[in-house]
Amino acid sequence: MDDTPDYTLEIQIATRFLPEESAPEDDRYVFAYTIRIRNLGQRAAQLLDRHWVITDGNGHVEEVRGEGVVGEQPRIEPGDQFTYTSGAVLETAVGTMEGSYGMVGDDGTRFDAPIPPFTLAVPRTLH
């Protein structure tokens, strides 16, 4: 018998600073992040919504909730993955993001897939 859980998602994140869209003199720092969601479980699952907690270097916290990601609510089959790129604007050169995806499995099971914390930082601002 296979002991793989029905619903297991692996979430990987890559970030980059967008200097051409930023204006540090106006406290505007723009970042892009690319997220890959890989279904390691036994069943397909659909991403319904997202919840982000974005914290800038001053400790200001913004929560964002919405349907899907980049206008999509992807259904991810076992062994498949979904990758997308989005962005965030901060008032500081460094910040963090974390959150969760609201998912539903093919059998109607609803679950949250945690998005691990990651750092947004202008290059050479962190040691």
Residue 5 has pLDDT above 90, yes or no: no
pLDDT greater than 90 at residue 127:
no
Report pLDDT for 76.
98
pTM of structure = 0.91
Label residue 7 exposed, middle or buried (CB < 10 Å: 0-12, 13-18, 19+). Answer: buried
Produce one character per residue of 34-67: b if its CB has 16 or more CB atoms within 10 Å, e if not.
ebebbbebebbbebebbebebbbbeeeeeeeeee
Q: Tens digit of pLDDT for each residue in 97-125?
A: 999 999 999 999 999 999 999 999 999 87
DSSP-based three-state secondary structure for 25? helix
Whether residue 25 is predicted with pLDDT greater than 80 in this model: the reply is yes
1 pLDDT above the threshold of 60: no
Q: How far apart are CA 91 and CA 54, in angstroms?
A: 11
Candidate from 1-15, 28-42, 56-70 with smallest mean pLDDT: 1-15
